[in-house]
Amino acid sequence: MDRFVTLRTFVSVVNGGSFANAARKLGLSRAMATKHIQTLEEHLGVRLLNRTTRRLALTEAGRAFHARAERILADLEEAENAVGDANTMPKGLLRVAAPMSFGVAHLSPAIADFMCEFPEMAVELSLNDRVVDLIDEGLDMAVRIGRLADSSLIAKRLATARFAVAAAPTYLAERGTPKEPEDLVRHDCLEYTLSSRGSDWVFAGPGGSVRAVRASGPLKANNGEALLAAAIAGRGIVYLPTFMVGATIAAGKLVPLFSGDWQPEELAISAVYPPTRHLSAKVRRFVDFLTRRFADPPWDRWERTGKAKAARPR
């Protein structure tokens, strides 16, 4: 049997909740749909579905295989659509969600340029630091930063979000400069409350080693801009992505810390979109546009100029 047809049958059975629904959707007989699943289980040597007269339930192996099968079919659909959409001018409304700070500073200018290139496009941008459900909220795609939760969403990496630990010169003159990440426990750390790491500031070191430091201080906020303003005013140390703090470091308002082996971790900036939705020309062109736009992240150019140097402990 055609393995892609078998995969489509399995995914349709699971998503539709029955062999009958899958058979109708795919134009197969119920007996043929059942045969595809039996053949697949025999090929893999495991049971994927527990069947009763009333319901179907995925086994543990079935859940893992279903997630992979959806991604494989989505990749195939995307490859097929890419050929068909290559000469299609995108048009219509594109609904996009993104984190607040990144959206204002970097995504909004990119959207403006994208709309100049494709004048038949309209964009509805939703800025929010919470993780939104794309299907429930009727969104075409989202830009997300950090480790992605295990889900059926397709992710396309756009760039790397590097982080910096930084403080104002006035703060360092008064409180001293931490030498090692562990020294931060004796300093005022300004906490971002929506971090997936909680209050831990994570540092990567030689050989893949990792250190996590529990940060605490006089200010917590669910928005990085609020923490950045406090840091510039000398109220503490921040651990924020360079797309937020790069310009203030280049201007000398903040000083980056820890130039040695231990550096803040890096996270991915990704475009995510549902696999079950046809990846239209507008989504594809926008993702490709962002990939080119952020291939050389503008927010890290301050470091390559060599103007900003990490503070030396004293």
pLDDT at 65: 92
Average pLDDT over the chain, rounded to an integer: 87
Query: Is 307 domain-assigned?
Result: no
Phi, psi values for residue 252, rounded to 5° = 85, 5
105 near 243, Cβ under 8 Å? yes
Identify the weakest region by mean pLDDT among 12-21, 136-145, 268-277, 282-291: 268-277
Instruction: Note whether 300 and 242 are within 8 A (CB).
Output: yes
DSSP 128: -
Q: Which residue has the higher pLDDT, 274 or 117?
A: 117
Q: What is the pLDDT of residues 220-245, one digit of tens each?
A: 999 999 999 999 999 999 999 999 99
Please indicate, yes or no, whether residues 148 and 276 belong to a single structural domain of this protein: yes
Strand partners, 192: 221
Q: Is residue 226 a part of any domain in this protein? A: yes
Give the pLDDT score at 172. 97
Annotate 101-110 with b (16+ C-beta within 10 A) or e (fewer): bbbebbbeeb
* Gap between the Cα atoms of 19 and 150, Å rounded: 27
pLDDT tier at 311 (50, 70, 90 boundaries)? Answer: low
Domain edge (last residue) among 47, 67, 85: 85
pLDDT digits over 289-309, tens only? 999 999 988 888 766 555 455
Give the percent of the chain with pLDDT over 90.
54
Domains contained in the chain, number: 3
Looking up residue 37, the CATH number of its domain turns out to be: 1.10.10.10
Selection from 179, 289, 164 nearest residue 239 by Cα: 164
CA distance 81 to 79: 5
* Claim to verify: residue 166 and residue 226 sit in the same structural domain: yes
Counting residues of the chain whose pLDDT is more than 70, the rounded percentage is: 90
Task: Indicate the pLDDT class of residue 88, thresholds 50, 70 and 90.
Answer: low
* Mean pLDDT along residues 171-183: 94
Record the tokens describing residue 238, joined without a space: 């921040």
Using 50, 70 and 90 to split pLDDT, how confident is the model at 103? Answer: very high
My answer on whether 132 and 278 are in the same domain is yes
Same domain, 181 and 107: no
pLDDT in tens, 32-82: 999 999 999 999 999 999 987 678 889 999 999 998 888 888 777 766 666
Contact 254, 168 (CB under 8 A): yes
Q: Which range of residues forms the domain containing residue 16?
A: 3-85
Q: Do both 247 and 169 map to the same domain?
A: yes
